[in-house]
């Protein structure tokens, strides 16, 4: 009887916890302890599914209260599955794949959070040497990394450097000509982002935005969300084809990332293919997709991969694209709902207010 009692209360506690962390992110709050539950949806699905499987064995006899509890667990499971379903192969893809691409229109990008305290540059440099991407965007790159990345400069004649030892440094290396590159501080004066034009081998010019906003739980999410909305709004208003890449410190299925896509109209190559988790490289059971490459519908996807461990707490993320203007008519870009512009503006104002308060 004692074992049965322990099993009963364990299942009850785990089920209640799963329902609670499903409901928390629905609250209209930017508090980090609430928004952080956007992340482990896959893990919560596994927890709720396990609870639902053992419920008939533990919750006997099946009273009305226990039936209500089982329905709550099932409802939470269904909602969580609905959030992550687009990031599975059973969902239609958002970005079409095209293995055939003229070299002049092809570009490849490696994105990596190197971890500012990581002192192993060799594995990353070896990956770059093997893949030979056109662009390398690195974040958390401090002064040590600025020196360690020196070997790249022979093969990458164009560079944007913003080394910072606070975890917000950024480096961009490019084989393609950069047009008007700039380092910007959209909200916080120590959180940089990169904006630059890129001249493709075809002669076409595109825009690249590199971002790395502050994450939860280090602070509430107003400023992270605001930075993403500012970039998304800028992308939407500029007719130049754009790519947004970096460690967004937000999962693909969050409300903020969904709103960012709706506002910007950019495609996510993960949709219909899989979650491709990039963080945390050190925790096999707790990994989430927070490093991203979004792009306009005038690009087709050529290749997509999460790369092996390089000593950081993030895996590098590799994307190869084909610039094909005709693809814009073939691919369905996210369409904003009438209220999305107002939501984005509200996020921006909340972020600016939080910055004025100094992060209270």
pLDDT number for residue 4: 57
Q: pTM of this prediction?
A: 0.94
Averages of pLDDT over runs of 10 residues in the chain (360 residues) are 66 92 89 89 96 84 83 96 96 91 96 97 98 98 97 97 96 98 94 98 98 79 93 96 97 94 97 97 95 97 97 98 92 86 91 75
Half-sphere CA count of 130, side-chain side, radius 13 A: 9
57: Cβ contacts below 8 Å, ≥ 6 apart: none
Q: Residue length, the chain? A: 360
Angle at 169 between CA 168 and CA 170, to 5 degrees: 120
pLDDT number for residue 1: 45
| Contact (Cβ atoms closer than 8 angstroms) between residue 76 and residue 19 | yes
What is the residue whose two structure tokens read 């401090």?
Answer: 142
């Amino acid at each position: 009887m004692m074992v049965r009692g322990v099993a009963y209360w364990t299942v009850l506690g785990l089920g209640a916890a799963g329902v609670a962390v499903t409901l928390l992110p629905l609250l209209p709050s930017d508090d980090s302890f609430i928004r952080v539950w956007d992340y482990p949806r896959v893990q919560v699905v596994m927890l709720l599914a396990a609870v639902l499987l053992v419920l008939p064995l533990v919750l006997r006899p099946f009273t009305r209260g226990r039936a209500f509890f089982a329905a709550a667990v099932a409802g939470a499971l269904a909602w969580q599955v609905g959030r992550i379903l687009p990031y599975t192969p059973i969902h239609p893809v958002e970005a079409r794949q095209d293995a055939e691409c003229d070299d002049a229109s092809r570009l490849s990008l490696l994105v990596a959070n190197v971890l500012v305290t990581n002192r192993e540059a060799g594995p990353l440099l070896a990956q770059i040497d093997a893949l030979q991407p056109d662009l390398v965007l690195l974040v958390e790159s401090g002064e040590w990394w600025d020196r360690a990345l020196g070997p790249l400069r022979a093969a990458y004649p164009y560079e944007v450097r913003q080394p910072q030892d606070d975890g917000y440094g950024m480096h961009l290396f490019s084989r393609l000509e950069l047009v008007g590159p700039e380092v910007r501080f959209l909200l916080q004066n120590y959180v940089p982002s990169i904006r630059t034009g890129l001249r493709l081998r075809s002669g076409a010019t595109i825009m690249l935005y590199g971002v790395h906003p502050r994450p939860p739980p280090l602070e509430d999410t107003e400023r992270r969300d605001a930075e993403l909305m500012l970039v998304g709004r800028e992308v939407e208003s500029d007719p130049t084809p754009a790519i947004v890449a970096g460690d967004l410190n937000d999962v693909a299925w969050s409300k903020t990332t969904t709103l960012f896509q709706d506002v910007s109209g950019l495609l996510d190559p993960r949709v219909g293919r899989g979650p491709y988790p990039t963080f945390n490289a050190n925790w096999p059971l707790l990994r989430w997709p927070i490093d991203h490459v979004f792009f306009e519908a005038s690009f087709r996807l050529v290749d997509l991969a999460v790369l092996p461990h390089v000593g950081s707490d993030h895996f590098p993320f590799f994307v190869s694209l084909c610039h094909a203007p005709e693809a814009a008519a073939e691919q369905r870009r996210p369409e904003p709902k009438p209220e999305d512009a107002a939501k984005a503006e509200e996020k921006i104002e909340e972020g600016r207010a939080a910055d004025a308060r100094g992060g209270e």
